[in-house]
Amino acid sequence: MTDLSLAPGDALDLGCGEGGDGLWLAGRGWHVTAVDISAVAVERLTALARSHGLGDRVVAVRHDLHISFPSGVFDLICAHYLHTPFGLDRSTVLRSAAHALRPGGRLLVVDHGSTAPWSWNQDAGIRYPSPREVAAGIDLTPGTWTVERSDALRGIATGPDGRTAEVTDHVLLIRRTA
Ligand SMILES: C[S@@+](CC[C@H](N)C(=O)[O-])C[C@H]1O[C@@H](n2cnc3c(N)ncnc32)[C@H](O)[C@@H]1O
């Protein structure tokens, strides 16, 4: 069983959107770098962090992960629903993330595992890669990284219009051991 009560350190949020996860982490003592290709997302997160009194713990930066990866080393790197209809080599991004972890640091990838009724993509043929397949795509050297969790979790989610539905999330947690 993985102890998920991590001591605060340096975190990187990939594709942060409006930054709910970064704010949550900053509120618990983490120093967060949050990146997104959207200037609007970065501006909103910067304003939200200031209004929550967390401006000194959150640095939001516009960054296209298709082109390059942010510099620095981190204790926790999150990629939550880093899905996009545009070109993005996620395996390369996640491999860069694994290499940007400090020894002992963790990479947390949360992906959609089912289509919510409110999703913009209602393609019935869509296939969601399993966490194991995502891990295989990252292609990490055994002995330096270990998969701590690889799960499909089902739960009730609330959509933007207030509707609720059962959805599946794919959760992958990788730890850098050396
Ligand atoms: C589905 S949203 C998830 C947002 C947030 N992580 C969350 O869980 O609410 C995906 C995010 O990835 C960002 N994104 C898409 N392509 C990107 C890229 N090439 N570089 C950086 N961010 C990107 C989008 O702008 C969007 O904010």
For residue 82, the CA-to-ligand 1 centroid distance in Å is 5
Residue 3, pLDDT score: 52
Find the residues whose C-beta lies inside 6 A of ligand 1: 15-17, 35-38, 41, 63-66, 80-84, 86, 88
Residue 142, pLDDT score: 87
Residue 86, pLDDT score: 87
How many C-alpha atoms does 127 have within 13 Å on its Cβ side? Answer: 4
pLDDT per residue, tens digit, the chain (178 aa), is 455 689 999 999 999 999 999 999 999 999 999 999 999 999 999 999 999 999 999 999 999 999 999 999 999 999 999 999 888 999 999 999 999 999 999 999 999 999 999 998 899 899 999 999 999 999 899 899 999 999 999 999 999 999 999 999 999 999 999 9
For residue 71, the CA-to-ligand 1 centroid distance in Å is 18
Buried b or exposed e, range 68-105, using 16+ CB within 10 angstroms: ebbeeebbbbbbbebeeeeebebeebbbbbbebbeeeb
* Domain spans of the chain, in order of start: 10-176
Residue-wise DSSP of 25-62 = HHTTT-EEEEEES-HHHHHHHHHHHHHTT-TTTEEEEE
For residue 143, the CA-to-ligand 1 centroid distance in Å is 30
CA distance 173 to 2: 10
Best residue among 32, 37, 171 to mutate for probing ligand 1, ranked by most atoms within 8 Å of CB: 37
| Residue for token pair 């992906």 | 111
Residue 1, pLDDT score: 43
**Facing residues of 74 across strands?**
101
* CA of 78, closest atom in ligand 1: 6
- 10-176 in CATH: which number? 3.40.50.150
Q: Return the residue whose CA atom lies nearest to atom 3 of ligand 1.
A: 81
| Residue for token pair 């690889």 | 150
Tell how strand 31-36 and strand 58-62 pair up.
parallel
Residue 178, pLDDT score: 92
User: Which two three-digit tokens encode residue 87?
Assistant: 């070109």
Q: Is the pTM of this model over 0.75?
A: yes
Residue 4, pLDDT score: 63
For residue 19, the CA-to-ligand 1 centroid distance in Å is 10
pLDDT tens track for 127-151: 999 999 999 999 899 899 999 999 9
Residue 147, pLDDT score: 96
* CA of 65, closest atom in ligand 1: 20
